[in-house]
């Protein structure tokens, strides 16, 4: 386990670093009110949850640098329209009960790829300025399904994949991180008998993918 090695120390160090306010991200996790995700059984996502995601992206994740997201109303409208697509709703409905250590994770790869490509496409995705929205997309789908999807940005790309900036901005790289996260979590479960022992190391609102992200960040 490269990333989860010394997880307790890494999580403690990450949580003690006041890098920027995490309230908006914590609301993503707590607004689910005990559910696995924001996704309804028919694959729809309520408007209030889309605004929670928009706030987290703008504040904690700082994704509106260079006006990548545009105004709140523009982004909320665009994300709502993308998620309300019949095909996207079908994909989300199929993923709502899946988590990162679910059996046969590979069965969901094609749906994950379609979702990723739809949101990150520079011309028809979520970007407000005609650029790729790859990092932002990983944060959006993580917020939608925090028990399933990992986060992938420059620091995680470097520490997990040993990639240079930009090399990780594609679905193939994203799925590699998904597989590494899953493999390390299953190895933790094998070594320590329970995945709950890993969750117990993090006192904040959390998920397995978030813990992996904290450890990868360091």
How would you write the pLDDT of the chain (218 residues) with one tens digit per residue?
899 999 999 999 999 988 778 999 999 999 998 888 999 999 999 999 999 999 999 999 999 998 999 999 999 999 999 999 999 999 999 999 999 999 999 999 999 999 999 999 999 999 999 999 999 999 999 999 999 999 999 999 999 999 998 899 999 999 999 999 999 999 999 999 999 999 999 988 999 999 999 999 99
**Domain contains 191:** yes
**Domain contains 206:** yes
Which residues constitute the domain of residue 137? 7-93+104-217
Query: Rounded to 5 degrees, what are φ and ψ at 18?
Result: -80, 60
**Domain contains 99:** no
**Domain contains 1:** no
**Domain contains 42:** yes
**Domain contains 86:** yes
Closest CA to 79 of 109, 110, 53: 53
Domains of the chain: total: 1
46: number of CA atoms within 13 Å, CB side? 10
**Domain contains 98:** no
**Domain contains 29:** yes
Residue with tokens 């960040």: 217
C-alpha of 125 from chain center: 17
């Amino acid at each position: 386990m490269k990333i989860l090695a010394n997880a307790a120390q890494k999580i403690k160090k990450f949580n003690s670093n006041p890098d920027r306010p995490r309230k908006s991200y914590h609301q993503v996790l707590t607004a689910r009110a005990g559910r696995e995700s924001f996704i309804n059984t028919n694959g729809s996502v309520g408007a209030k949850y889309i605004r929670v995601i928009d706030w987290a992206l703008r504040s904690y994740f700082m994704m509106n640098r260079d006006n990548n997201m545009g105004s709140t109303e523009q982004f909320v409208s665009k994300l709502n329209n993308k998620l309300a697509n019949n095909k996207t709703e079908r994909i989300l409905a199929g993923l709502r009960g899946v988590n990162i250590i679910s059996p046969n994770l590979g069965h969901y790869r094609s749906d994950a790829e379609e979702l990723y490509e739809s949101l990150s496409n520079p011309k028809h995705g979520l970007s407000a300025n005609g650029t790729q929205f790859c990092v932002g997309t990983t944060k959006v789908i993580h917020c939608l399904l925090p028990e399933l999807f990992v986060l992938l940005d420059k620091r995680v790309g470097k520490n997990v994949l040993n990639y240079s900036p930009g090399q990780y901005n594609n679905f193939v790289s994203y799925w590699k991180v998904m597989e590494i996260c899953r493999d390390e979590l299953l190895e933790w479960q094998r070594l320590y008998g329970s995945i709950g022992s890993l969750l117990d190391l993090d006192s904040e609102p959390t998920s397995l993918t978030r813990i992996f992200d904290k450890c990868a960040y360091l």
